[in-house]
Amino acid sequence: MPVTAQHIRDAANTLQGQVIRTPMLAAPMLSRAFGCELFVKLENQQHTSSFKARGAYVAMQALTDAQRKAGVIAMSAGNHAQAVAYHAERMGIPAVIVMPAQTPFAKVARTRSYGAEVVLEGRNLNECEGTVNALIQDRGLTLIHPYDNELVMTGQGTVGLEMLEDQPDLDIMVVPIGGGGLIGGIATIARDMRPNIKIIGVQTKSYPTMKLAVAGKDIECGGETLAEGIAVKKPGNFTRPVVSQLVDDIILVSERQLEWAVGALVEQQRVVSEGAGAAGIAAIYGNQALFTGKKVGAVICGGNIDPRLLASILNRNMAVDGRIARLRIDISDEPGMLAAISTAIGKCGGNIVEIYHQRLFYDVPAKLAKIDAVIETRGPAHVDEIIAALRAANFNVRQLEDSAS
């Protein structure tokens, strides 16, 4: 059946008490940086930290008694997996989840914590399909597809309904695209509520599958991406025509833009987002002229990011911004050198994070050594001030390129 705006309104009634009506908040710091009026829909605060809880419930509540008894199966990089497992536990339905083998540990652990059986197979969602089909044949399970399902798309569309109820005069909606269920549902309800609103989808440069599909081009994709939640090799057969008809444009973002967006959400909004969840912010960051002066709503569609990866991104962003710098300093190997370096840096207000004293592994004379100092600073100008102070103290010093680019 074609999904209609009324179906999405009905789904919103079905979801009352089953999911969280997540906040739609102003983002003043990012608005100032981008030159637009930005609002963020925080689906990272949804049950299981993702919008997927919406569509999964709408699809699962429609199962027959026989289907519930036999159980359900889903293939997912993590967010749909957790949503299906979460609702299955609440509804007393057995659940099997097939996940790509490299899915972050945090997502696997959370999925198992809801009582689901987890099978790790393949490198992406599409490589999971063979395993899913075999398990369906063997056990009589019902597939809850992550995106190519009318009921799932209907549930996901309630995100857009809430956005326009909270901010009815949005000019642009920015929505991440994997298989197309989220943006298909949002576009369906948005076109009914605001026919002239601009709807922009976002994919990564590594996985531009929906963009290529709606353009009628051969699909070429692959590689590692921070946004594994939207790293889909094949868009949905059901969702593709909806996206083609209702979505104005699809922007592709780079891995560097995704990293910046994840870090900016934490630092400027105190919002924890996974790579896919930050894709809309990455698109605005990389294409600011398209959004200048507009009232923009961006969906932060998930917050399930590995803590170690988040820490790495924050540190990398600080290095790119010049707030962390690595300096290599030549010294004579004699008492007092480290104290002199520390004094010069301290007088400038720099903070030494790590320091490495190397005598053995560089090509230097026996009476000399090299110091690698990792320093927290206020920014590039502060780094220059610290380097000048060290040189004034007669040290030969240079900033290593990996902390400045």
Q: What is the pTM of this model?
A: 0.86
pLDDT tens-digit map of 80-130 = 989 999 999 999 999 999 988 877 777 788 889 999 999 998 776 667 788
Residue 16: pLDDT over 80: yes
Q: Which residues pair with 295 in a beta bridge?
A: 37
Q: Cα 353 to the chain's mean position, in Å?
A: 28
pLDDT tens-digit map of 174-225 = 999 999 999 999 999 999 999 999 999 999 999 999 999 999 999 989 888 9
- Sign of torsion over alpha carbons 236, 238, 244, 247: negative
For the segment 236-246, the average pLDDT, to the nearest whole number, is 94
Question: What is the structure's pLDDT at 402?
Answer: 58
pLDDT tens-digit map of 150-183 = 999 999 999 999 999 999 999 999 999 999 999 9
Question: What is the structure's pLDDT at 405?
Answer: 40
Ranges assigned E (strand) in 11-141: 24-26, 37-42, 72-75, 95-99, 117-120
pLDDT band at 369 (very low <50, low <70, confident <90, very high): confident
Q: Is 202 within 8 Å of 176 (Cβ atoms)?
A: yes
For domain 5-50+152-316, give the CATH number. Answer: 3.40.50.1100
Give the highest mean pLDDT range of 297-311, 335-349, 354-368.
Answer: 297-311
Selected residue with higher pLDDT from 120 and 77: 120
Q: Is 355 within 8 Å of 346 (Cβ atoms)?
A: no
Same fold, 5-50+152-316 and 52-143: yes
Question: What is the structure's pLDDT at 234?
Answer: 86
The rounded mean pLDDT for the chain is 91
Question: What is the structure's pLDDT at 185?
Answer: 98
Tokens of 386: 């610290």
**Angle, helix 380-392 to helix 337-347, in steps of 10 degrees:** 140
Q: Is 280 within 8 Å of 250 (Cβ atoms)?
A: no
Question: Would you kindly state where each structural domain of the chain is located, as residue ranges?
Answer: 5-50+152-316, 52-143, 322-403
pLDDT tens-digit map of 281-322 = 999 999 999 999 999 999 999 998 888 899 989 888 888 887
CATH class, domain 322-403, is alpha beta
Cα distance between residue 82 and residue 69, in whole Å:
20
Percent above pLDDT 90 for the chain: 64
**Angle, helix 279-286 to helix 255-264, in steps of 10 degrees:** 110
Question: What is the structure's pLDDT at 362?
Answer: 53
User: Burial, 43: exposed, middle or buried (Cβ in 10 Å; 0-12, 13-18, 19+)?
Assistant: buried
CATH class, domain 52-143, is alpha beta
Looking at 144-148, 249-253, 265-269, 359-363, which range is the least confident one? 359-363
